Amino acid sequence: MPSPAVSSPSAQGPAQAELLDFVRRTAADAELVASLPLDPEGRTWVRLDGPGGSEVWLIGWPPGTGTGWHDHADSVGAFVTAAGELTENSLAARLPTDGWKSLELTDGVDRTRRLPAGRGRAFGRHHVHEVFNESAHGHAVSVHAYYPPLPRIRRYGRTGRTLRLEQVERPEDWQ
């Protein structure tokens, strides 16, 4: 699949702003977005080439689907909604990176963003969030980029103010 042109990355890999620019341009490629096969039951995805060795995914979201709470460990990232609308819930708090199983969150850390087509965001390392398609009828499509390519994803359960580490996934788990 064609990839939008990108500037040469820095020695440290692409920065958050470069990833956000790339996913915005990719999400604006109507032909690419329309080429993603959509499944009425579950998310679909296609891996794309990204700038500077980044990992990029075009993802289709059926109505009512989401990720659950997770982070991308040591990767920075960005995503943009290409079609439909997604909602992101995130935590505006620095969490310890390792060595914990359960945390009590303080008041005021919750953030919600509605991201219609063309809107998105960049995020830093250890950004804890969940993304979902709240629509009862329509698919959403989005473009996501990560650098370095995802070394792991930590999945969390949340009950009220308690956040629990439930699972750590590595790339070999996604094959």
pLDDT tens figures, 86-123: 999 999 988 887 788 999 999 999 999 999 999 999 99
Task: Please say whether the dihedral angle defined by the alpha carbons of residues 52, 28, 76 and 39, taken in this order, is positive or negative.
Answer: negative
Give strand pairing partners of 143.
Answer: 58, 80
Give strand pairing partners of 76.
Answer: 147
**pTM of the model as a whole:** 0.89
- Quickly state the pLDDT bin for 133 (edges 50, 70, 90): very high
Q: In what order do the strands lie in the sheet with 120-123?
A: 44-49, 55-61, 140-147, 76-83, 120-123
Structure-token pair, residue 65: 């689907």
* Share of residues in the chain with pLDDT > 70 (%): 93
- Quickly state the pLDDT bin for 173 (edges 50, 70, 90): confident
- Quickly state the pLDDT bin for 2 (edges 50, 70, 90): very low
Neighbours of 21 (CB within 10 A): 20
Cis ω on the peptide bond leading into residue 171 (within 30° of 0)? no
Three-class SS of residue 147? strand
Dist CA 27 CA 83 (whole Å): 8
76-83 and 140-147 beta bridge pairing: antiparallel
Three-class SS of residue 110? strand
State pLDDT tens for residues 38-97. Answer: 999 999 999 999 999 999 999 999 999 999 999 998 999 999 999 999 999 999 988 887
